[in-house]
Chains A and B, each alone.
Chain A
Amino acid sequence: MSDVLDKPVRGLAWFALKQEIEDFLYMEADLLDQRLFREWLDLLAEDLVYFMPIRRNVKFGQHAEKENTRQGEGISWFDEDKWTLGKRVEQILTGVHYAEEPLSRVTHMVSNVRLLDVTPSAENPAEITVGCRFLVYQNRVEYETNTFVGRRIDTLRRQGDSWLIARREMILEQNVLMAKNLSILF
């Protein structure tokens, strides 16, 4: 992000909001880890964009242009909407989606939370862009273990006294995917 080095002066409202957002992200992670998939779906905005690019090995200087596949073009790991995620949940709940039957054991770690953008203001936030790191640990059946690590950029939209996820971009730090499947939710 170009704002990595920005050091704006932040007031108490900003830090209170940051705390609120962190709590929201931890709660969301808990829903997934406790397999409350339908409740998790309720946190997604109807116009959700859920995007995980494929990362490529490119020459120095070409990263901005070529490193990640782009949303809305070609093939990525995920470039989908709420309907499709709803299908993923529905599939798990059939009990015969063998890639998740028996269910994996999953822990989502969320850290390095930063508010990247708040509109219109920290005192009265309607939409927030929040960056974080994820470390998702998956263990399934007996010995099969995957660790997915990367950056995430979420757009959250105020809804009543909570938030809806309107956009989630997951930037996985892998080129050739080192797992056989991406059968879990991020």
Chain B
Amino acid sequence: MAIPFEFGYEKPATIADALHLLDKWGRNARILAGGTDLANELKQGFRVPELLVDIKGLDALEKIKVLDDALHIGALVTFDMVRNSQLVRDHAYILYEAAGLVASSGVRNRATVVGNICSAVACMDSAAPLLVHDAVVHTASLEGEREVPVQDWFVDNRKTLVGEKEMVSHVSIPLPKIKHAGAYQKMMRYTGEDLAAANVGVLLMEDGACRVAFGSVGPIPRRSPEIELFFEKNGVNARHIDQAKDMIGGIISPITDVRATKEYRMHMTKVMFVRAMHAAVERLKKQKI
């Protein structure tokens, strides 16, 4: 299907050039990363930009690196690069695990993690891993740089705190200082293509702290302070995991759509939560560092 309207295209060679374009064009410009969401949105007329700013010439944004006790994921890092990164496996295993469940290899080769959280479709796979890792979103504009905790980043389905003249340069994941283990669970109709009908991410720390995030079961993915507090008070064991499971009904608010009914989503979120918790407990036992 042809795209029924015209727009311009620029591929800046430096971040400064990109920021100037965004400054000039504001809401009429749209950043193009892997295009896996944007191409569809333009075909459907969901967005009608006047200019695409292709950031794929900005090599500096293509890196995964450890800097200042944090793992940095640049705006051009694809899910495929995450799957092939030992750094991500070592420091944010659950992001690696989730990346393997995104779409198919043909999409993962283009789709970026940052594009995923900029599109902010409720079912995105990178949100729960970033949430439980207390990740920070780094933005840049001519006015300067901002750091936004990923917990505050999502405002509504497809809506984030990104400013009109801003771009995201990278996300950073603080390296946990103690032994930890996470697990990610995604419910889908079939592997290879499907968006999550619901997803759960958990991160367990050696000192007993536990972080839990739910995706696709409300307009925005969210952490659950209720369950985290429950584990903090009572500790993590099989009985408490079961009790925490029963709290989920009061925490998430799934809807019915083409992928699943709200009852099924609710049921499966509980099942996946229990699976993820047990997997994380087992993984923590095996962790060396």
Say whether A and B bind each other: no
B-side residues, CB < 8 A to A, are none
A-side residues, CB < 8 A to B, are none
